[in-house]
Amino acid sequence: MNNNPTTQETLIREVLEKDRCSACGACVGLCPYFTFFQGRVVALDRCSLSGGRCGQFCPHLRPNAALKEDGPGRVLERWMTRAQAPGLRKKGQYGGTVTALVLLALELDWVQEAVLTGTGKNGEPEGRVCRTRAEVLECAGSKYSGAGTLSALHPLLEAGGGRQGVVGTPCQITAVDNIRSYRSEQRLPVDTIALKIGLFCTWSLPYAQIRKILLEKGVTETILKYDVPPPPAEEFRIFTRKSRVAIPLAELRPLVPRGCLACGDMTAESADIAVGSAEGVPGWNTVLICTERGLELFREARSKNVLQVKPLPDENWEHLGTAVANKKKRARAQEERSID
């Protein structure tokens, strides 16, 4: 038994082999030893470093900060929004709010590069660096699968010279925080990651297994959109140009990585702005403003008429709080089972 495992050995043993990897991509693109293939992180060879960045960036090798309290973290303001432009609303998952905010951040030159999740040539999700409106629009819509998105961030940080905005799920936003902490410790620039937009998330699914299920159901066309409607639907919907397929969530839950089950962060609590669907209001988003930076961007969006804005109903806020608390409760139970 190795009493002094390398960082990579620890990550493989504690995350990959225990099915705790949520495929955020934070360990990919740093060295030749990890790659991202069909929605999964794969170790190609062994590394001898005892202080590798892969383990320091991984969101699953540090205490889960979101479990310290039951609520959704610090929230300065909460709203219900959608993009003003009908074209953005149509391209977006629900209300197009994230797409509108990313485009505004680029327009204001707050960021020069946006790290988003796009779709690869074979339909698999992948990290993208977007600098133009067209590139941002190509990434609109949720993918619901681990995408390795943060692998696209590392080359930008190594090159320097620009400011990045990152749109990601809670585990990805946590990994970005880990990256910033590491860079601060190493006295490297940290303010280049200038904007974090979080996406509400309860779980992700392994792309290869989802694709296999779809092929078994005869779905061979290009996927236009995925969706998980609110209860009581209990189904995962896939839209193509010619058809709509619904898969019961009961069939998919066994595929959810343990890392998702042990994650207590539903609303990307350390993001500047966090965005999800608006319960019971089709075509609108729930938006949580979590930092002064997020508040500044949101006020710019309102002043420039980029977003349509309504107060978030108290009932929606209460339901969201219940969902957040339940996810934290399940995550604590998962962690206790892992310790046992």
> Would residue 2 count as lying in a domain?
no
Same domain, 108 and 162: yes
pLDDT tens sequence across 259-315: 898 899 999 999 999 999 998 899 999 999 999 999 999 999 999 999 999 999 999
β-bridge pairing 235-239 and 225-227: antiparallel
Same domain, 156 and 31: no
Confidence band of 4 (pLDDT split at 50, 70, 90): low
> Would residue 228 count as lying in a domain?
yes
Percentage above 70 pLDDT, the chain = 98
Same domain, 11 and 131: no
Same domain, 198 and 310: yes
Residue 39: both structure tokens together: 């929605």
Final residue of a structural domain among 38, 57, 76: 57
Same domain, 75 and 136: yes
Q: Give me the number of domains the chain comprises.
A: 3
Q: What is the pLDDT of residue 338?
A: 63
Decide: 245 and 214 in contact? Cβ < 8 Å.
Answer: yes
> Would residue 97 count as lying in a domain?
yes
Chain-centroid distance, C-alpha 206? 14
| Residues facing 311 on adjacent strands | 79
Say if residue 5's pLDDT is above 80.
no
> Would residue 1 count as lying in a domain?
no
Q: What is the pLDDT of residue 287?
A: 98
Same domain, 121 and 227: no
pLDDT tens sequence across 12-24: 999 999 999 999 9
Same domain, 333 and 264: yes
Torsion of Cα atoms, 79 then 197 then 106 then 108, to 10°: 50
Same domain, 262 and 117: yes
pLDDT tens sequence across 142-169: 888 888 899 999 999 988 878 999 999 9
Confidence band of 175 (pLDDT split at 50, 70, 90): very high
pLDDT tens sequence across 109-137: 999 999 999 988 777 889 999 999 999 99
What's the domain range around 39?
Answer: 7-57
Same domain, 78 and 190: yes
Same domain, 75 and 134: yes
Same domain, 22 and 151: no
Task: Classify the phi-psi angles of 39: left when phi > 0, otherwise alpha if psi is within -120 to 50, otherwise beta.
Answer: left
Same domain, 291 and 324: yes
> Would residue 246 count as lying in a domain?
yes
